[in-house]
Structures are given as C-alpha cells and as structure tokens.
Structure 1
Amino acid sequence: MKPYIDFLKDKMCIAPDSGIDAQVGNIEFLDGTKLKPHQRDSINWALRGGRRALFQSFGLGKTIQQLIICKTIVEHEGGKSLIVAPLEVRHEFAKDAERKLGVKLCYVRTMDEVKGADASLLITNYERVRDGDIDPRFFTVTSLDEASVLRGYGTKTYQTFLNLFQGVKYKYVATATPSPNKYKELIHYAGYLEIMDTGQALTRFFKRDSTKANNLKLHPHKEEEFWLWLSTWALFITKPSDLGYDDTGYDLPQLKVIEHELKVDHSTAGTEDDGQVKMFRDATTGLKDASREKRESIYVRVAKMREIIDADPDSHYIIWHDLEAERHAIKKALPESRWIYGSQKEEERAENAIGFSDGKFKYLSTKPEISGSGANFQYHCHKAIFLGIGYKFNDFIQAVHRIYRFLQSEQVEIHIIYTESERSIYETLMHKWEQHRRLVDMMTEIVRKYGLNSFDAVTRLERSIWEKKIIKKGKNWTAVNADNVIAIADRPDDSVDLIHTSIPFSNHYEYTPTYNDFGHNVDNDKFFEQMDYLTPELMRVLKPGRVAAIHVKDRILFGNATGSGMPTVDPFSDLTVSHFMKHGFMYMGRITVVTDVVRENNQTYRLGWTEQCKDGTKMGVGCPEYILLFRKLPTDTSRAYADETVKKTKQEYPRSRWQIDAHQFWRSSGDRLLTSAELEKVSVGDMQKTYREFSRASVYDYHDHINLAEKLQQREKLPSGFMVVAPGSWHPDVWDDVNRMRTLNGEQARKDLEFHICPLQFDIVERIINRYSSKGEVVLDPFGGLMTVPYMAVKMGRYGIGYELNPQSFKDGLSYLKAADIEAATPTLFDLEGITA
C-alpha cells in the first residue's frame, strides 16, 4: 500500500497530461501571416494535455488552432482527424486549411466517405455524428467546434456524444461561451473529455440543498479548488495579454447596445384560463403568450427595423430573427436583402454567407441557430438588428460576436427590438450576459495568475493537505485536532476499551476544505481505500475482545447523478461491514435506529405520497440508521471472553434493560449537543437564557464570546438596548437571571452552513458505552465531531478520547468536554427546542 501522504496527494483534482510530446513553433502561413504567440502557446498546451477545452473569446483564432492540433497529432500518431462543426462554419475551416496551411480539408457525411477520403483532415456537422452516420471512434483525434451544445446534460446531443466519443484517445472542445448561466454546467465538458465523471464532479464540488431536491450549489470552501481544477483542463482567454502578449488588434471599440421597446395594446391582453380578464399583456407567463406576442408584433417590429436602416442607409446590417414568418416579413420590407434559412440549398447558403462576409451586399437576414456560430462578418459589417429576443443566451451572444470580434475596426452597434410585454425577457438576457462576464473574468484571472503550467496549480492545491496537530487535555479527556490516521498512530497498542464513532458516509459530505477529509473522495472505493489506513490502527489500539460500534446510514443516490432517472439506495452499511471484516474484525450484528420517513422525504423528495399514487413501483422505503457491532478477537478464543471483561452485576444491569438493549431495533430521542452555529439560531428573546446556561456550563473563552457577539451583530441580532449574550454567573451571590425588560421575538435569518454536521444522539451513545465498557475505561472516537462520544464517556465515569479534523467542530467540542469535566449542565438540542417551541 502506498504511503498515506501519497494517497492524499492523489486526491488532487488535476487533469493528467495524456497528449503527445510535440510542440509547434512560430509558424509562417502560406498567405504571409504568422501564427500568433497566444495561439502557439494554446496549441502546445492542448497537444501536451491530449483532452482539453479551448474556451477563447471570439476572434482569437480557434479555427486555425484546431486545424493545427489535428494536423500535428495525425502527423505524429497516424490515422485521421475529425472536426465536428455547425454546417455554416465548414467553409471557414476549409478556407484556413487551404490558404494558411496548404492542406485539404474534406467534408464527409458517411463512414464510406470517411474511409474513401484522400485527406487526413476531415470535417462534418453535428447532425451527421448524432444520427449515427459518422463513428468518432474511427479517428485518432476529434475536435468539437462551437461545443456549447454540450452544456445541457439532459439533451440528446450531450447524452449521445458522451457515449459515441468515449475512448477517443485525443479529443478537444472549442467554444467562446462556456456555461453563462450555471457554473455546474462546466462539468459536462469534463464528463465528455473523460476528465472526471459528471456525477463524481457534482458530488465533489457541489452541495445539496437539504430543503430542496436537485438544487445544487458550489461549496464555498471548494470554490478555489474548483477553479484551479478547471484551469488544468480548460483554457479561458479573452485577449492575448491573458498569456502575457500584446493586445494590438484585439482592443475592440466599445460595444454599443441600443434597446428599442415598442408599446403594446394592453386592452387585447385576453383572459386567464378561468375567464378572469388580464390587465396586461405579458410574454413571460407561458409559451402560448410568448408565441402570441411574437406573432402579433411582427409587423411593428419589422417597421422599426426598416426605420433603423433608413436612418443609416450607408451601413451594412445583419438582421437576426427566429421565426419563418419574420423572415418573410423582412423579405417584403427589405427586398434588397439576402437570407439564409434551413431548407435552403447548401450551396446557396454558403454563397450568401461568404458574399456578406466579403461585403458584396449590405443586408443579410438569418437565424442565430443557423449562422450564429463560426462565421466572420466583421470585415464589412459593424451593425446588427435583433428583430426579437428570447431566453437563449448562447444563441444571442454567439450572434453578437459574428461582428464584434478580432479585426473589427468600427464601433459595433447592437439594436435589440422587443415589445413592452417582453421587458422581463430582455432583463433576463442582460442578467445572463453579466453572469457570463463574471465567469470569464474569474477564469482568465486564474490563467493570468498561474499561466499554462498545471504544476503551479498542483503546488497551490498541496497547501490544502492538513499537517497540524493540536492536542488538548482535561482531567478525564483528550481531544486532538488532526488527521486521525496520522494522530492515532501515536497511541499504544491495546490501549482502548471501546471504539464508538459515526464514520463519514463516503463522499456524501465534506467537513473541511482539505484532502485529509474522508468525505473528500470520488466514490465509495476511494473512501474505503482511505479507511484502509485508519481501520488497522483502530484494530491495533483496541484491546483484545473489545467492541467497535460504528454508526452508519445507507446513502440515497439521485437519478440526475446516476442517470437512472430515479433515486436509488447505496448499501453503504453493507460495504462498511465488508471493510471491517477485511481488516480482521468479527461482525457481531447491527442495531437499527428507526428514523422519521416524513422528515427524510422533505430532504430528498424520493418518497412522496403523490409519486406513490402515480406509480408505486418507483417507491422504496425510509433509510434507518445502523450501529454496526464489531469485535476484536480475544487472546483466548476457547470461550471468547475479552482479555479484560466488561462485568456488571444484575442489580446495576437488570433483565429489563438487557431485553431492550439486546433487541435489534432501537429508538432515539434525538437529543444531542448543540453547535455554535445552532446557538446563533436562537431568537433574540431567548438568546440570553440559552447563552447564560451555556456560559455557566463552559470554561469561559473570551475570544469565543467576542466571535459570537460579532456574528450576531452581522445578522442584525445584537440589540442596542440590552446585552443578549451576557456571561452567566458562577457564584450564588451574583444574580444573572433578573429580567429588566421584555425581550423581542425576532426570527433568526437562516444560516448557510458550509459543513454538514451529523452528531450522534445522546441516548444511543449512552447505551453503547454502558453496555460495552466499564467505569474508568477508555472510550475513543476517531471522528469526534462535537466530541459527543468522549463527552458522554466523561459524564459516565470513563476517559474520553476524540479526534477531529474540522477546527470549528473541535473548538465547539472542547467547550463541552470542559463542561463535562466540571460536571455542569450543558444546553442541548432539546433545550433549544423547548425554548423556541
């Protein structure tokens, strides 16, 4: 088995280099131009990587980069290459291949044409691949141009391409608009490139909202790691200076967006389905209303288009539209224009696109979904009219950048025509545009900071390996803030009488932003691989014949991560049994702790009554918790008594208690320790009482006191009229319970917890400690959390030991252990519920 530190380093999310050992230099093209420095560096980075994404702004030369990448790999590895691009773009690739590289780029439609082609560089359109006419696995290298089609996980194109391209040795994606709306969509590219499985990436970087199923957000403490990981396989560039080069020619004039909001007749708003008359026309209430607004406003929008053009007769305009009816209206109002549409002959479409690009005519009418990708119209046109708008930001931004791109010398004007009832659609579009800018800014900053050397990212990520070790001791306890694998190695053999813990539930939650965290693993296999370093240590320190009681719960796997379309159950408890048995523990059975199925459904939406009534076949049952019982074999196995037995008189452990404890089903009150975050949730009116009780039970910590008060102030819960977190009195002559005023019943703002805390319940821990240990013995918890197990051990006359990696949980736990040492009352979850009920 590899050293533990090497295992931790292997957790780092670094896309491995799997490319070729080849570099391109300062290439001079046949047309007299040269390969630009930023293009050369991007190509060499991609060649070295083998499976990479080029997310580069419009006009930075993704076309020539893809051609050179494919050409170089084929020359190095043999075989043929395939570029997949929108149909309208292929002539741009063919032109660059011939004029710059002097090579032939052949368009293919079937595998027969692929095999019969006398060229090694081939190009086809997305439909040919998606419909099965072209087999990507035949090619040495593939590249997807305008690969933003992969953003949608559930789309036919993404699901089809994921399988069709699996196993292609060298593959690339290129687009200028990666995921403008949701950062998590970026991982779909990683899934396609086989950098990381989409489900694994979701689990690693995104947290689940326990109040709303399927609502995933980037973990705040994982944000930097996410962007650094992204930078190892995706290159974001907005201009050459992002890589340290001169921006001459790329400093575009400021973009001018001109909005034209047209009035509508609200008296024609119609009625609701229930007959209620609508007060306003609104295109956002549904597809039916949106379609009606588009249809009924065509001629006023076209009239505005004509007005814009007539006011500026010398300029060239590209007119973007969505409906065929709009195209016909444009043709009637502007007969001198040319157009591109879906059923048009391919030759005529190409002729019109090239003609407009070369400035042979002034007006071109087309749809973003047809001509919005790859075309270069910036040489003679710097004005565009959007005859209508929609929610598809990707189509919109692509269309804008057909003219707002490298070598554009004039200020670009974007005219957006929409009706008054479509105002919120326009505002949503602008919001997405701002999100897009923020994402690109964040990624380009990482490129500027770390360059193209992933080693720098590795060095930065190595700092997330926890190396500190803090030991605190009381009269009856020891608490250690450290990696338990490393720290427990210092304990003597056969020195622990009982091990009781709740292990992390595989990669379900991460408790700290470190690689030492057991929750920071890609799957069950990796989780138990890390446990392979800990469990032998637990076996070593446990006395012969003694018990390890392990709290676990099976995990819910959501359909969006597994692809099954339905929630399923991961038998994590069974895997835990196999793991401990593998390391020599004897399995003694399991205690089942019944849970509330209604509360569980509120968190997972998997057991809904409505869904049950629709189709009972997809309904499972609630997931209980389990205490798995394992035993280390005693030295003498003839009668199998422990080397140091746990003896009880029948008076102190009567038959009645034994019958209840021996039953495999346990119920729990749920009472447990409070986190400091939970203390912050208490209403202002009750905070005084709760904090006073907490203060009496804890050794006073000035910095903790200040920290809590500051947090309350940030949440506007620190009243100016009275002290809400006054320390409690430890002396009978000092009174602290005189109410001088009525307290306010303010509601606590919901706190966005970064770490999922899952403490054990008191009664479960108490029963385990009482049954499997004696007073004066040592009880150890390797995943201490709030130190519930050592806390209860101290209160029950044992010596408690706890290890915890999370500094905040460790700090909270210390206050409870100190309180247990002085045998004082400590507020618990039930105290909080009693106050706030």
Structure 2
Amino acid sequence: MNAYADFLARKRMIDPATGIVADVSLHSVLKDHQRDIVRWSLRRGRSAIFAGTGLGKTLMELSWSEHVADFTGKPVLIFAPRAVAAQHIREAKKFGIAARLVTCQAECGLGINITNYQKIDHFDLSAFGGIVIDESSILKSTDGKYRNRLIEECAKVPFRLAATATPAPNDFMELGNHAEFLGVMSYTDMLATFFTHDGGDTQKWRLKGHAETEFWKWMASWAVMLRMPSDLGYDNSGYDLPPLRYTSHQVQVGYAPSMETGLLFPMEARTLQERIAARRDSVGERVALAASITPHHRPFVWWCNMNPEAEGLAKAIPGSVNLTGSDSDDVKERKMVDFSEGRTRVLITKPSIAGFGMNWQHCADTGFVGLNDSFEQIYQAVRRFWRFGQTKPVNVHFIASEMEGAVVANLRRKEADAERMAAAMIMHMADLSSQEVRGMVRDRPDYDPQIPMSVPAWLTGEAA
C-alpha cells in the first residue's frame, strides 16, 4: 500500500518545495506583496517571479539573495542585463543591502554578487549557493547561448530564482524554459504532459482540454504571476500609473511612377520587405521630423531600428549620445548609466540594446523614429518610462512613412491582444497563487447545505 502511495505521489504534477522552512525576518522596506512573495520563494527554493514592471522585482531579488547566502554559507550570484547590474548595486545601497559588482569568479565573496550575462564565461556557477537571473526572458530561445549554459550549469545549484515582467502570453516555450532552468520539468516533458500539437507549425501548441486545470496548478506550484498587487489580493495603493499618450506622425516621401511596378501612385506597404523598403526610403524625412519635435530641456530617448537613423539623429540633435551595438560593453554601460544619472539628456539607441531592465522614471518623453515588427521590443522599451514610480504622463511618439500604413493602430491592436491574454493567465493563476503565497484558502466551503432534509422512517428503523 505504501509503495502505491509513493507511486501516486510521484505522478502528481505539483513541484515540491526544497527551500528554507524556518520563518525569516525581512527588511521593513518591503511592501506586503513583496514580503510574502520573498518568503514563498525562499520556501520554494527554486521559483519564478513574473511581476509587472515597477512592482519591486529588484528588491525582492536582493532580499531573497541575502537570506540564501546566509542559509547556505555560500555566495549568491545575480545575473542582469548590461548596465542593469550597476542599477542593482544602486538599489542595494538605497535599501542598505550589502552587494558587490563583480566581473569574474576571483572577485566574488560571501553574500550578494552581481554581474551581467556577457561575463558568464568568467564564473563557475556550481560554486554558488544560489543563482538569480534577472530579466529571465533571456531563457526564451530554446537554442540560445545563455539559456543552455544557465540550465546545464545551474542544475545542481540548490537555490534558483528567475524574475521578469509577466511573460509573453501563450508563449509556452518561454514558460517551459523557465521550468527547465528551475529543475521543475523539462521543456519537452511539459509539452508532452499538458499540450497537443496544433497543425504543421512546430511552434503551435495548445493546452489539452482535460489538462488545463492541472497545468495552471502546476504553474502556480513554482511561479507567481501578477501585474498589480490586487491580482494576489493586496492593496494597490501607490501603484497608480499616469496616462500613457501615443502620438503618431507620418512623413511624406517623394514618389515617381515606376515602370517596374506599373503604379502611378504609391501603395501602402504590405509585406515585411515592402515595409523595410519604405523605412529605408524615408530615413531623412523621419530624422528631420524627430529632431524638430525633440524637447530642448527635458530628458528624451529616441529608439531606432537602422543605423542611418541613429547616425542622422546624433548629428541633428546637439549634445545627444548615440548608444550603438558596436560600442564596447564598458562604453554601453557608461552611456546608459550617464543617462540614468542625468549626465546625458538625449539618448539615441535601439530597443535590442537598452530596451530591457533599465528604470528610467526620471524621463517621461520617448519616441520611435524607426520601428521593427517586434511588439515585445516596443512594449519593453515603453515600460522603461511608463512603470510604477513614474509621476508624469508619458508621451510616446511614433514616426513612420506614409507608405508604412497604420503603425500605431497595429501596435494598439497587438497591445490589446497581449493584455487580454495576460489577463487570462492572471485569472487562471490568481486564486492558486494567492493560496501558495499568502497561505490563503477560499472563504466559502465546498458544500453549503441550505435545504433541510427529512430522513425516511424506514431508514431510521422507526417505521411501524
């Protein structure tokens, strides 16, 4: 009988906790939702925090790391994107938490060590008691360099924490990679257990109908997801976002009738190649318009897609700084920190370089002089400014060629779709996560009889 009970226990999809059982004393600066999530993460040992921008992931990571280092007697290493590592150090200092910025194993010591992903080759990850991966959407790609290294080398690290904003809705690959990093279940096992293949596209998977409830239970056993404190039943006081204002600008470009296409008038770009051509043909006009609407006395970030856009803006806006992909790691970090600390007023860069992880609430004006087709990059870039802690309305400008069509309308549609899907994920996980994190159970009983029942006399033995 015991053997059968063990067999059933192994078949359960709930990942067991392996962390710190004893109660811990946490910093008073943590808000209620942060304090409970940190305690839950420490109990879990290996967990993911999917929390919206501005909900305090950095403070939660630092608090978790501090207690893991004390418990294991080993150093903890936090990986963060470039320049975000230095931002973590500033946050730690603000909250009175000891942490050091390191570039290699020899610089590490007991306590909290922080570095960036680009320096992963300089560390022996098995030497740490805990590993934190900040902006853990870096695990998204199944064949990514960092993803594979982190999963393989952290397999025996007892404490692991992944933290990012709410993951891409319906991007089950990203969820599976998180589960694999945490040692919960492999990506392929997750697909085989909960999903069915949908057609010929290898990326299209959908939840099996009968497995949906079990999937969300499984998710809530190792991950907590929230966009607002109220998603887990906490007070939203202090978490009001200011207005977000989108402004669309279209530039006209010269067009000559083409013998090649046979068209007398320009046609709206439809395919990806046509949109790229429209962007390339309108660089000068878009740069000139961007320079003309850049404020003279407020911080501003221009996001570009092509190098000629960035180079043209750097020439057109006096005192601006162009952060490029060809800059060395140290130069990239210095330029981002200079903007963060107010030494640079206008920063020009690409979402792929600086669109993740930075907290730029001191700036409320930004714009895209060039776009690509990645909604996630645009979403993340805007969230550098429009996040909890921002006190001013955020103004976002989109500059496009008239040939590119309704750019802002398409972005709003994609954003609405993402919000609906994220809300569905939260809806599925909210009660489950609240029970896990807060130790709460439903107030209503499963059975609540309201109608009196008469027992037949023949059943009570009272019949004559």
2:281 aligns to what? 296
Say which structure, 1 or 2, has more relative contact order (CA 8 Å, 6+ apart): 2
For the 8 Å contact 1:184–1:218, the answer to whether it is kept is: no
Q: How does 1:391-406 map to 2 (within 5 A)?
A: 391-406=373-388
Rounded Cα–Cα distance in structure 2 between residues aligned with 1:213 and 1:441: 26
Give the deviation of 1:99 after TM superposition.
Answer: 3.0
Alignment of 1:356-375 (within 5 A): 356-375=339-358
Q: Which residue does 2:244 correspond to in 1?
A: 255
Q: Distance in 2 between matches of 1:103 and 1:268?
A: 66
Q: CA deviation at 1:252?
A: 0.7
Cα separation, partners in 2 of 1:189 and 1:429, compared to 1, 3 Å: farther
Q: 1:118 to 1:229 in 2, by over 3 A?
A: closer
Alignment of 1:285 with 2:285, yes or no, is no
Structure 1 pair 249/357, CA: closer, same or farther in 2 (3 Å)?
farther
**Which letter does structure 2 place at the counterpart of 1:51?**
R
Matched, 1:86 2:81: yes
Distance between the aligned counterparts of 1:266 and 1:80, measured in 2? 62
Aligned to 1:240: 229
Structure 1 residue 454, shift from structure 2 partner? 3.7
Q: CA deviation at 1:47?
A: 0.6
Structure 1 residue 75: deviation in Å?
A: 0.6
Give the distance between the partners of 1:301 and 1:45, measured in 2 at CA. Answer: 49
The one-letter amino acid of 2:21's match is: D
Q: Is 1:24–1:43's contact at 8 Å kept on the other side of the alignment?
A: no
CA drift at 1:5:
6.9
- How far apart in 2 are the matches of 1:214 and 1:203? 14
1:445–1:296: structure 2 CA closer, same or farther, 3 Å change rule? same
Q: What is the alpha-carbon distance in structure 2 between the residues aligned to residue 331 and residue 220 of structure 1?
A: 54
Cα RMSD for the two superposed structures: 3.1
Any unmatched runs of 5+ in structure 2? 443-464
CA pair 202-451 structure 1, distance change in 2 beyond 3 A: closer
Preserved contact between residue 197 and residue 205 of structure 2 (Cα < 8 Å): yes
Say yes or no: does 1:145 pair with 2:134: yes
Q: How many angstroms does 1:251 deviate by?
A: 0.7
The alpha-carbon distance between structure 1 residues 374 and 328, as it changes in their structure 2 partners (threshold 3 A), is same
C-alpha displacement of 1:200? 1.2
Q: Does the 8 Å CA contact 2:142/2:173 hold for their aligned counterparts?
A: no
TM-score by length of 1: 0.49
Q: Summarize deviations over 1:513-533 as a string: whole Å, max 9, x none.
A: xxxxxxxxxxxxxxxxxxxxx
Q: Secondary structure at the match of 2:95?
A: helix
Cα gap change, 1:445/1:23 in structure 2, threshold over 3 Å: closer, same or farther? farther
Cα distance between partner residues in 1 of 2:82 and 2:279? 27
* Residue number in structure 2 paired with 1:224: 213
Distance between the aligned counterparts of 2:296 and 2:146, measured in 1? 42
Given residue 133 of structure 1, which amino acid in structure 2 is its aligned partner? H
State the Cα distance separating 1:73 from its structure 2 match. Answer: 0.5
SS of the equivalent of 2:174 reads helix
Identify the residue that residue 27 of structure 2 maps to in structure 1: 27
**2:175 counterpart of 1:186:** yes
The residue number in structure 2 matching 1:672 is: none
Whether the 8 Å contact between 2:82 and 2:333 is mirrored in structure 1 is no
CA offset at residue 138 of structure 1? 2.1
* Matched residue SS, 2:34: helix
Percent identity over the alignment is 31
Q: 2:418 aligns with which of 409, 431, 436?
A: 436
The SS at the match of 2:225 is strand
C-alpha separation between the residues in 2 aligned to 1:199 and 1:168?
A: 22
Provide the rounded CA distance (Å) in 1 between the counterparts of 2:259 and 2:373. Answer: 24
Once the two structures are superposed, the pairs formed by residues 89-104 of structure 1 within 5 Å of their partners are 89-104=84-99
Change over 3 Å in CA distance of 1:336–1:214 after alignment to 2: closer
Distance 2:259 2:349 in 1: 32
> 1:84, 1:431 → 2: CA distance?
34
For 2:319, what is the secondary structure of its paired residue? coil
Compared with structure 1, are the counterparts of its residues 415 and 26 closer, same or farther at alpha carbon in structure 2 (3 Å cutoff)? same
SS of aligned partner of 1:87 = coil
Match runs of 1:309-328 below 5 Å: 309=294, 312-328=295-311
In structure 2, the partner of 1:14 is 14
CA 1:439–1:5: 2 relative to 1, 3 Å: farther
1:418 paired with 2:400, answer yes
Q: Which runs of 5+ in 1 are unaligned?
A: 29-33, 461-837
Please say if residues 106 and 119 of structure 1, whose CA atoms lie closer than 8 Å, have aligned partners that are also in contact.
no
Shift of 1:213: 6.0
Shift of 1:271: 4.8
Whether the aligned pair in 2 keeps the contact of 1:268 and 1:281 (CA below 8 Å) is: no
- The partner residue of 2:324 within 328, 338, 341 is 341
Deviations 1:319-350 (A, max 9, x none): 11133222211111111223323344555544
Q: How does 1:598-747 map to 2 (within 5 A)?
A: none
Deviation at 1:440, TM superposition (A): 2.7
Residues paired across the two proteins, number: 442
Q: Could you say what secondary structure the match of 2:405 adopts? A: helix
For the 8 Å contact 2:368–2:397, the answer to whether it is kept is yes
Rounded Cα–Cα distance in structure 2 between residues aligned with 1:342 and 1:105:
27
State the one-letter code of the partner of 2:271.
T
CA distance in 2, matches of 1:66, 1:73: 10
- Aligned equivalent of 2:451: none
Shift of 1:211: 6.3
Aligned to 1:70: 65
Give the TM-score of the pair, scaled to structure 2: 0.85
Q: Answer yes or no: is the 8 Å Cα contact 2:309–2:370 preserved in 1.
A: no
Query: Whole-Å Cα distance in 1 between the matches of residues 137 and 241 of structure 2?
Result: 24
Q: 75, 99, 106: which is aligned to 2:101? A: 106
The change in CA–CA distance for 1:214 and 1:353 in structure 2 (over 3 A counts) is closer
- Write the distance in 1 (CA, Å) between the matches of 2:309 and 2:110: 41
